[in-house]
Each structure stands twice: as C-alpha cells, then as structure tokens.
Amino acid sequence: ADRTCWLLKGEPCSKCFRALCCKGPPPPRPEYDLVCIGLTGSGKTSLLSQLCSESPENIVSTTGFSIKAVPFQNAILNVKELGGADNIRKYWSRYYQGSQGVIFVLDSASSEDDLETARNELHSALQHPQLCTLPFLILANHQDKPAARSVQEIKKYFELEPLARGKRWILKPCSLDDMEAVKDSFSLLINLLEERDFEPSRM
C-alpha cells in the first residue's frame, strides 16, 4: 500500500515519509567536557548523581575527582567533578585543561566563612587563563534550607556583575527538591556551549 501511494500521487504519503525519514540511527549528540568545582558540602556529587538518575543512597563527598557522563536530549556532558576539601582545592587547576565549560556549585545556606572561601575560589576560577573565556554555570544550591541566601544576595556578595562583565555566565538557584529547575539551568549552559559567540549572559 505504501508503494502504491507513492506511485499514484507522485509523492510519499505521510506514512511513507516517516518511514523514509526515520530509518537509521539518530544523529549523534554533541559531547562537551566540563569541570565541576565547589567547596565540600556544596552538593556537587548529589546534583550530578540525580541528573544521572543514580540512587541518592550512599553518596559520599568526592575526595579526588570523578567523571560522569550526564545525558541530555541535545547533548552529553562529560563532567569532571573535583573534590572541594581544603587540601584538594590547591590542585584544581591541574584538571582544568581541555575543559569547555565550568559548573560552580555553592552552598547558599553556608556560614559566612565558607561563603567567603567560595567567593574567593570562584573569583580565581573566573580569572584563570584556562577558564576565563569559558561559559560558567553557577548554582546557588540548598535553596530549600531556611538560611539560604537569595540569588540577588549571592550575585551582590560574589561581585559577579563587575567581575564577570564580558564573560558568559549564568547564576541560578537550585535544590535537590526541584531537579527540573536544575535541568533547565543545564539546558541554558548547553545553549552557551553550542553558541560560542553568544552574548554574555547575566541572568
């Protein structure tokens, strides 16, 4: 019947058209190599595990580094997560080479001392020669906690507007309670990765 409809009408019917177009494997999704940094306790491992649909049980802080392939509909993100302990952060820069984007996770409900440390680390990353031209996704995690600071407070405290002017960055609130919002934030990062000439974002 399908061949008949092609021959009689001189064009394929919708059923034939789907059969012709949909044969073969779908085109491969682009892959991007990202580095994920942030202090211990910021929630890096938990967020990435949830994005990979892994069980939240038995999650332990990353002590060195780990690599996860995080699948999205239009891309695969190969995320190298670096441990955030004091004695590991000084080695972060050894793992920056080859990165195409940066995920920085901070605990928006942390102590003032930890928040200042996180600010200093983010400033260092934004100014590092191997990262300074890359898109940044900055996640203000633990927004579900009572002591969480708002995105506007984080933006002001971290001095993102003056420091990151001219750079491509996204600052978004997040928590494990709203993984759809986390996925939306990663989709924005993928957009920046796909369009390297994109205008600097200040969302």
Q: 129-180: per-residue pLDDT in tens? A: 999 999 999 999 999 999 999 999 999 999 988 877 778 899 999 999 999 9
Please report, in range form, the residues annotated as the binding site.
38-45, 62, 84, 141-144
Q: How far apart are CA 45 and CA 36, in angstroms?
A: 9
Per-residue pLDDT at 81: 96
Per-residue pLDDT at 116: 97
Please report, in range form, the residues annotated as the binding site for Mg(2+).
45, 62
- 12 or 23, which is more confident: 23
Residue type, 54: E
Please report, in range form, the residues annotated as the binding site for GTP.
38-45, 84, 141-144
Per-residue pLDDT at 202: 43
Collect all residues with Cβ–Cβ distance below 8 Å to 135 and sequence separation of at least 6: 101, 102, 168, 169, 170, 189, 192, 193, 198, 201
pLDDT in tens, 85-100: 999 999 999 999 999 9
- Nearest Cα to 35, choosing from 86, 87, 73, 91? 91
- What is the model's pTM? 0.83
